[in-house]
Structure 1
Amino acid sequence: MKLRRLLGVMTKELRQMRRDRITLAMIIGIPVMQLLLFGYAINTNLRDLSAGFADQARTSASRMLARDIVASGVVSPVLEAATPQQLLDAMRRGEISIGIVIPPDYERRRAEGREALQILVDGSDNAVQSAAAQLARMPLEGMTFDPLAPGAISVVSFYNPQRSSATNIVPGLVGVILTMTMVLFTAVAIVRERERGNMELLIATPLTSAELMVGKVVPYVAVGLLQTGMVLALGAWFFHVPMAGSLWHVFIAASLLIVANLALGLLISTRAQSQFQAMQMTFFLFLPSILLSGFMFPFSGMPRSVQWLAELLPLTHFLRLIRGMMLRGASLWELWPDALALLVFSAVMMAGAILRFRKRLD
């Protein structure tokens, strides 16, 4: 082995790597992205959970209790309700994660050492249950009011009282699998036609850019729905994951995510120069999707700026949809803001892919 020839090959690879902007971006971008995500964005200590208060006592002591709970930083009040049922309705719609119920005879219960505060928890997210347990211990550790007696705080978990990890993870897996496969399938679609020499044939056809893009998306919708059905069936069979809401609504929500991911994949395909580049770009987008969507780490623990970024990811909205429908029994219409977000994302990505695609070889 000649050192001179070896150095020549190494120099050639380094120069080629420098010219390949996608690879260069991956080399620099992935370490930076992981450092920022794990060091700044991801926080397992939940703060500012959306909470509703039902203060049925309406006394100075009950108002002081509510203020001290908010001062803990764990919850952020977004709703005032008259009854616990109103809190449960808001929780089913995904408007709040925690409900605080102060009974009408709060002061007498507190004096007698009986249950004086009830915390209602959305158990479809296990992280929220942990935060509720933390909140239940805080008044005993020195608030401005007199400490409540042990057992005076009741935590009631809904939708997943057993805190089963599978119940929380399996619905999210539907979104993760669809994001990974659908984006990758279409990310290589246009590039594959170019590499196999089929682009010349497509150029000779009377197909418009829009017809070609849509034609490549539609067959994969059926594939995505098949994957959705498989995950749901296996989850119910092996892990007894419930289906509290409408199965048809779940499939409609899955269709919205499938179309969004396919449109994103097509946009990547119009930018990539090779199938390898397309796979690189897919991975580059998949990493923040799985980390910031709330699938692996609690969404409420992220800084506000990162939450705004996560709102741009289709997986974030789908997780809210499928967990709300499967575990809380909400309908698609009650969760319409997230469904609308997926529709808008799909339209923007598809329009971008159509505008970028040109029926030319250059």
Structure 2
Amino acid sequence: MSLSRRRSKWLARTPVDAAERQLTSAMIASLGAEGLPTVSAPFGHALVEIAHQRDDVVGLTADLGKYTDLHVFAEAFPERFYQMGMAEQVMFSAAAGLAKEGLTPFATTYAVFAARRAYDFIAMAIAEDNLDVKMVCALPGLTTGYGPSHQATEDLAIFRGLPNLTIVDPCDALEIHQATHAIAAHKGPVYMRLLRGQVPSILDQYDYQFELGKAQLLEDGAEVLFVSSGFMTMRTIEAMRLLRVDGIHCGVLHCPTIKPLDVATLVKHCAKPGRLVVTAENHSVIGGLGESVASALLQNGVTPAFRMIGLPDEFLDAGALPVLHDQYGISTDAVVRQVKHWLAH
């Protein structure tokens, strides 16, 4: 039984005091800056929109419909929803079978369960046959305070080496909505990281439109270029604005498609002389966006001053998310401090 499932059963039979409620709330705290607007369940609502237009779309979950926003789809299309129980390997194998019959399954669970428990089934049943299965997985990286059993800090590293698989790490509610439509239209297997529940929205400030396989320059800057994915793009935008107040001119290149990487756009913007390139990701510094970007630049003869912001190569602590994000260097304040340190040295 998963930790969240065990925890909910424990809470049901144990009195919860105010301190426990406060800690629990902090462990699933919002990822956006205070005051950012939020959207409820953008993935679930986008999938419902798609399913109204396409009767081949079906949804599967491994006992986590409510926690991956697939309950929205289940309420709208109960006859096209499959509750597979706590059996991720079975769920992905079933999704492969449905895809072989011409359907387009969206299968949801937590990212740790897809990457660690079901990798072989995904590789052999889905990726090898290049099947049209969309794996949409919540709690990527450090988006829960419940500890290593639920923190998918190495999922990108695990999946990047898998042939035929497209990998997407969206930033906010707007991009999740747009990316869901895009991956539904794409033929072939996709792994998409998911922010769920009340998801902040920030990219609408840029008249943003997601394009599968494309990185996009949101802001330019002469001294620092952030190359970021996932909710770390929210953080780099916030850090950029704070650094500009101190006279440090930064830009943000958002890179939501981890595989295939948009090498041409990366080379174009990272080749500009005289500025520090900083990758920022909600993932281990081993095997994620940072190492992908470094490899792409080096192979194309581009060698800027280069630094990486990401999670350390270790199993992380449990606790309140704001504290953990600062502890592991991915809070906005931590990003600002680190960039100032690098520029000063």
Establish whether TM, by shorter chain, passes 0.5.
Answer: no
Structure in which a larger fraction of residues adopt strand: 2
Q: Which has the larger radius of gyration?
A: 1
Q: TM-score, normalised by structure 1?
A: 0.24
User: Does 1 or 2 have the higher relative contact order (CA < 8 Å, sep 6+)?
Assistant: 1
* Greater per-residue helix proportion: 1
| TM-score w.r.t. length of structure 2 | 0.25
